Amino acid sequence: MITELVSNSTEDTMEIARSLGKALAPGDVIALTGDLGAGKTCFCKGIGESLRIPAARVVSPTFTIATEYEGVLPLNHIDVYRLDTAMEAVEVGVDEILAATKGICVVEWAEKVEELLPTDSIRVTFVICCDDRRKIVVSTPEQDRFAVFHELTTRFLARG
Ligand SMILES: Nc1ncnc2c1ncn2[C@@H]1O[C@H](COP(=O)(O)OP(=O)(O)OP(=O)(O)O)[C@@H](O)[C@H]1O
Ligand SMILES: [Mg+2]
């Protein structure tokens, strides 16, 4: 199911992410796509909060590709911005992290490693509209567990 949402603030983006967090299950991969500053890391902070990981801990250090945070489930935060090809991502073990995760994987700049992603990944695309407004398009698998996400995000639905 594809849902088009509108966020007007970082807090909106975090709330949308926390709502998705309520539907997640171990092994889920969330593939984030969007320009610099579109809100990918902000979204990851919201996923982290749903796993009781303080948002301040979830950052994107310049030279770190993958970070694991301890939460209710482990959160594997992968940011492949500095890599050029999926092959480079394999060299640093991104495929192994995706295959072995016992928790949730969030991948920033996921389009760069498309061939490594499970086909049932949850897709989230961010478009910068203006100032603090972002269009956030979420594509979830057709599974009942995502109903809670859809219920909790109705107020963010794009109109028209
Ligand atoms: N509605 C919004 N949702 C999320 N971030 C917003 C929003 N409006 C403004 N911002 C600002 O946009 C920036 C988003 O930063 P963030 O690090 O989450 O982006 P990113 O997509 O991870 O960027 P990068 O590609 O550099 O990793 C922050 O400075 C935040 O304050
Ligand atoms: Mg980021």
Please tell me the predicted confidence (pLDDT) of residue 60.
86
How far is it, in rounded angstroms, from Cα 94 to Cα 105?
10
Give the SS3 label for residue 50: helix
Q: Where are the domains of the chain?
A: 2-156
Q: Which of 8, 42, 131 to mutate to test the pocket of ligand 1 (most atoms within 8 A of CB)?
A: 42
Using only the alpha carbons of the chain, give its radius of gyration: 15
Q: Is 34 in the pocket of ligand 1 (CB under 6 A)?
A: yes
- What confidence tens digit (pLDDT) does each residue in 56-86 have? 999 987 889 999 999 999 999 999 999 999 9
How far is it, in rounded angstroms, from Cα 53 to Cα 118?
25
Q: In this model, does residue 155 exceed pLDDT 80? A: yes
How far is it, in rounded angstroms, from Cα 33 to Cα 145?
23
How far is it, in rounded angstroms, from Cα 44 to Cα 107?
9
Please tell me the predicted confidence (pLDDT) of residue 120.
95
Q: Is 40 in the pocket of ligand 1 (CB under 6 A)?
A: yes
- Continuous H helices in the chain: 10-21, 40-50, 86-91, 94-100, 147-152
Residue nearest to atom 31 of ligand 1 (CA): 10
Q: What is the CATH number of domain 2-156?
A: 3.40.50.300
pTM to 2 decimal places: 0.98
- What confidence tens digit (pLDDT) does each residue in 94-137 have? 999 999 999 999 999 999 999 999 999 999 999 999 999 999 99
Q: Is 42 in the pocket of ligand 1 (CB under 6 A)?
A: yes
Per the prediction, the chain carries an average pLDDT of: 96
Residues 6+ apart with CB under 8 A from 151: none
Cα 104 to ligand 2 centroid, rounded to whole Å? 17
